[in-house]
Every structure is written in structure tokens, then in C-alpha cells.
Structure 1
């Protein structure tokens, strides 16, 4: 009898866990990315992408996204290393965390252009940022893409100006902008 009761209890836990999981969306990292562009010497534009993302969107519209800074890709490995080590100090601050809430009921009638407020934690400091996006719920996926870039400054998150100076020294001391445009593409699957 104890075996039957414990088997039934285990089955109920599995059923409740799987129905909870079925209501949630997980981020598909192979289809998602965060992109930014550095600007040096006022005219040299260098794109970068981070594809090492994980996250979740629950049925209430609450989301969390973790961005692993070690996944920065500029197409030039030494630049990736310098950004990680000298600028972001990713050994101490390995991730950017983003959280917020979106009204999923607003998506029932097709794609929507929204501004989603989110809390972004970078370099140990949290700041609220509004992300202008287009959101589409299609079948078992929710897709989010920037409708315009968000300008983010290193000083907004307390990244020391010395980090930018050290980075600039590796390329002959030329001036590198403290501010960068950031865009995102996120795909969540139920």
C-alpha cells in the first residue's frame, strides 16, 4: 500500500511539474542574440554579438534572461578577449541579468509594437531600461525583436572609465565611445 501511495504521489508531482513547465517558454539560444556596436575614433564602427543566452518567460509574462559575456563575438578573437578581460571584467561580472514583465494577453491579436520596461544588472549595478520591441506570439513561440536600438553607457552601470582607457590603449590610445547602441532578438519556445 505504501508503494502505491508513494508511486501516486510521485506521479502527481510529475504531472504538476510538467503542466507548469508546459505553460512556460524557454529561450532558444540558437535563435536569440544581443548585439551592440562599439564606436572608436568617431567613425570606426565595430559590431559585436552575444549568442550565449538563457532565459524563461512564464505564463504571467514575467521573464528573466541571462547573458554570458564570455560569448561576445566580434569576429576578431583578440578583441573578444580584450572586451571581456579589460572592459567588462567578466571574471568578476560574468553575466548580464535582465528581468521584467510583458502583457501576453496583448499579443492575442497579432504582432505588437511595445515598450517593455526591464531591470538590467550589469557590472553589479541594476538599472531600469525601456526596450522598444516588436513582439509576436506564433504557435508555441514568442518572438521579440528590437524596433529601435537602446543606447547604453558604460558609466550608467558604474564601469570605470579606466576600463575604457585600458581597452583604448590596446589599439593605440584612440578614443572609444562610452555609449553603444544595443539591439536584441529573442525567441522563446513553449
Structure 2
């Protein structure tokens, strides 16, 4: 028993090391997020950010992402300016965040073949937070994971006002596509 007492701290360190070795984070700082709010017969309303940060905790399936609003690029510079100044008010609300979970996530079950999963969590945009759910595809890619999917949001749900003069030119439902290649931290 005395031998076990002397070895207890070593055993605890070993067990904690084993658990923390299983808890692995995979990250990216250059995830791709696009949104499309175009309406047929009018100019394209779409933008892309190639600098979204995201993290996946493989032991829990927790997933989080952060996009800087001024990181979105439009084909038309004036549209980008209006987006930042009049719609999402980027100076006041500089980022959009998502914090959620991949449901029933088990890293050992992910292979190079895409698997369909559901990601559910809170999207915070323009100072408002709403629950969102997305069907996504996840697969192993090299030493990490690839996650792609999309979801739909309504600007009104986040307090983003579309001026009446352009309301017919902007969709009331915006499709958001994402593509993340997350590597071991």
C-alpha cells in the first residue's frame, strides 16, 4: 500500500496526460465563408471571406468559427462599402461568431469518405444571437478534417435592415456556404 501511495501522483499525471492526449484541437485561420443574397434579374449580391478562423475539439465535437465582417470581398467595391457601412455596420459589429457542436461526433468514425453530420449552435451577427442548424459533410484530409456545408439566415433575424429602395434586389433569405480544412494544433 505504501508503494501505491508513493506512486499515486505519478499515476494521476499519467492518467491526466492520457486524457489530454485524446483531447485534440484542429484549427484553421483561412477558412472560406461565402454568402449569396442575389435575386434573379438583378446584380449579384455575393461575397467571400478567405480568412475565417475555426476550431474543432475532437474529444467533444465542439466547433467554433469567427469571421471578420470587413474580410468579405465583393465583385463591386461600392457594394462592399455599403455592406460594411449601412448593413452589417462593421465598425460597430466587427465580427460574426458561431459556437456549437457537431452532433454525435466520434473522430474515430471519420474517414476520407465524406460523412453527413449536423452542426447546431449559436450564430452571433450584428449584435444578435440566433440558433442555427446546418447539415455538413466531414471527412479526414491529410492530418486533419475537412468540413463543408451551408445554412440559411434572414437579415431581419439579426436586425439588419435592407432599405426599401433596394429590398427587391436583395434576397430575404441569405445562403451561407462554408469550407474549412482544420489541422492539428
TM tier, smaller: 0.7 to 0.9
Cα distance in structure 2, aligned partners of 1:70 and 1:167: 24
CA spacing shift, 1:155–1:34, aligned 2, 3 Å: same
Query: Contact between 2:54 and 2:180, CA under 8 Å: does it hold in 1?
Result: no
Correspondence for 1:81: 81
Query: Contact between 2:45 and 2:170, CA under 8 Å: does it hold in 1?
Result: no
Q: Report the secondary structure of 1:84's partner residue.
A: helix
The superposition leaves residues 96-155 of structure 1 with CA deviations (integer Å, 9 ceiling, x where unpaired) of 000112213364344201121121011111111111111012342110112xx4221101
Higher helix share: 1
Correspondence for 2:178: 184
Correspondence for 1:125: 128
Alpha-carbon RMSD across the aligned residues, in angstroms, is 2.6
Cα distance in structure 2, aligned partners of 1:166 and 1:175: 10
Cα distance in structure 1, aligned partners of 2:131 and 2:108: 22
CA spacing shift, 1:138–1:52, aligned 2, 3 Å: closer
Q: CA deviation at 1:86?
A: 0.6
**TM-score between both structures, scaled by the size of structure 1:** 0.74
Q: Does 1:151 align with 2:152?
A: yes
Cα distance in structure 1, aligned partners of 2:131 and 2:98: 9
**TM-score between both structures, scaled by the size of structure 2:** 0.76
Query: Contact between 1:53 and 1:65, CA under 8 Å: does it hold in 2?
Result: yes
CA spacing shift, 1:174–1:25, aligned 2, 3 Å: same
The superposition leaves residues 33-76 of structure 1 with CA deviations (integer Å, 9 ceiling, x where unpaired) of 11111224x43233211222112212322121101010111122
Cα distance in structure 1, aligned partners of 2:74 and 2:165: 15
Which segment drifts farther, 81-90 or 150-159?
Answer: 150-159
Correspondence for 2:101: 101
Gaps of 5+ in 1: 1-11
Q: Which runs of 4+ in 1 moved over 4 A?
A: none
